[in-house]
Amino acid sequence: MIHCFEFSRWLVVIAILASSSFIGLKAQAQERPNFVVIFTDDQGYGDLGSYGSPDIRTPNIDDIAAEGMTFTSFYAAVFCGPSRAALMTASYPPRNALDFNHFPNAKTGINSGEVTIAEMLKEQGYATIHLGKWHLGDVAEFMPLEHGFDEYFGIPYSNDMWRFHDAITRTENSDPRLIAAIERANYTGSPDIGHPFDESLGKNDLPLYHNSEIIEYNPDQTLLTKRYTEHALDFIEKNKDGPFFLYLAHAMPHMPIFASEKFKGKSIRGLYGDTIEEIDWGVGEIIAKLKELGIDDNTVVVFTSDNGPWLQYGIDAGSAGPLRDGKATVYEGGIRVPGIVRWPGKIPAGARSSEIVSNMDLMPTFAHLAGADLPSDRVLDGRNIWDLLSGKTMKGPHNEFYYYGGNPAENEANLMAVRQGRWKLHFKKENRRAVMPLKGVELYDLHRDVSEKYNRSEDHPDVVARLEQLAKEFNASLIENIRPLGRVAQN
Q: What does 162-187 look like in DSSP terms, one character per residue?
A: ----TT----TTS-TTHHHHHHHHTT
Going by the DSSP 8-state scheme, the letter that residue 366 receives in this structure is H
Q: What does 99-165 look like in DSSP terms, one character per residue?
A: -S---TT-SEES-TT---HHHHHHTTT-EEEEEE---S--SGGGSGGGGT-SEEEE-SS-TT-----
| One domain for residues 392 and 451 | no
CATH of the domain at 461: 3.30.1120.10
**Whole-number Å distance between alpha carbons of 133 and 286:** 18
Among 399, 419, 439, give the residue marking a domain's end: 399
Q: Tell me: the pLDDT tens digits for 102-160?
A: 888 889 999 999 999 999 999 999 999 999 999 999 999 999 999 999 999 999 999 88
CATH of the domain at 289: 3.40.720.10
| One domain for residues 363 and 216 | yes
102, 130, 135, 398: the catalytic one is 135
| One domain for residues 333 and 426 | no
Q: Residues near 178 by Cβ (< 8 Å), separated by ≥ 6?
A: 164, 168, 170
| One domain for residues 374 and 429 | no
- Identify the CA nearest to 375 among candidates 178, 172, 90, 166: 90
| One domain for residues 291 and 434 | no
| One domain for residues 418 and 353 | no
pTM of the model: 0.88
| One domain for residues 141 and 223 | yes
Q: What does 257-318 look like in DSSP terms, one character per residue?
A: P---TTTTT--TTHHHHHHHHHHHHHHHHHHHHHHHTT-GGGEEEEEEESS---GGGGGGS-
Q: Determine whether 80 is an active site residue.
A: yes
What's the rounded mean pLDDT across residues 38-46?
98
Q: Which of 79-83, 150-154, 228-232 has the lowest mean pLDDT?
A: 79-83
| One domain for residues 279 and 385 | yes
| One domain for residues 387 and 425 | no
| One domain for residues 382 and 446 | no
| One domain for residues 262 and 354 | yes
Number of domains the chain is built from: 2
350, 333 in Cβ contact below 8 A?
Answer: no
pLDDT reported for residue 193: 35
Q: Tell me: the pLDDT tens digits for 177-224?
A: 344 444 433 433 333 333 344 444 444 578 999 999 999 988 899 999
Give residue 475's domain range: 403-487
425, 459 in Cβ contact below 8 A?
Answer: no
| One domain for residues 120 and 246 | yes
Among 352, 375, 399, give the residue marking a domain's end: 399
Going by the DSSP 8-state scheme, the letter that residue 489 receives in this structure is P
Q: Determine whether 447 is an active site residue.
A: no
pLDDT reported for residue 162: 67
Confidence of residue 255 (pLDDT cuts 50, 70, 90): confident
Among 345, 366, 399, give the residue marking a domain's end: 399
